[in-house]
Amino acid sequence: MKSVEIKNKRAKFDYEWLDTYTAGIQLLGTEVKSVRMGKASIAEGYCFIKDSELYIKNMNISEWSHGNLNNHDPIRERKLLLSKREIIKISKSLIDQGVTIVPTKMYISEKGWIKMNIAVARGKKNYDKRQSLKDKDAKRDLARLK
């Protein structure tokens, strides 16, 4: 089976992760086929809670190339599958100011299910981002010396 791993590279740079979760995604058949081909993007996506259920919005899954008139909408809301206890825990942490839920990675599990890692995160300030860049450069220099 082909391994697909779609990452949100900006999530670690723009946000300080407070807690992470792994959720399933409720997808249509043509969406699953597109994800298996790697035709998805989670960079613009964000999660929200509606009616005590977790959804992701603005995640782009391209239309399937061999689809017909019943092909899916590329940027529709998709339900994330978490336990009720996890959703309650996330909703309690969202009460804090400046806290959001960001998708970090979408992948296919060993059983063949499409999963998504999400993080409850707080946005970084500009000086935090500069510090992250300095740390990254220092690690790269150390690796280069070895």
pLDDT in tens, 51-61: 989 999 998 88
Query: How many structural domains are present in the chain?
Result: 1
Amino acid at 144: R
Radius of gyration of the chain (CA): 17
- Interval 67-99: pLDDT, tens: 666 777 778 899 999 999 999 999 988 887 778
Can you give the residue range of the structural domain that contains 92?
5-145
Helix (H, G, I), strand (E, B), or coil: what is residue 14? helix
Which of 41, 82, 77 lies closest to 57 in space, CA to CA? Answer: 77
List the structure tokens of 81.
Answer: 């599958």
**100-145 pLDDT, tens digit each:** 999 999 999 999 899 999 999 988 777 777 888 888 899 999 898 8
Q: What angle do CA 93, 42, 131 make, to 5 degrees?
A: 65
What residues have CB less than 8 Å from 106, skipping those under 6 apart? Answer: 4, 5, 6, 25, 35, 40, 42, 114, 115, 116, 117
Q: CATH number for the domain including 86?
A: 2.40.280.10
In this prediction, residue 5 carries a pLDDT of: 87
pTM of the model: 0.79
- The H or E element that residue 128 is part of is helix 126-145
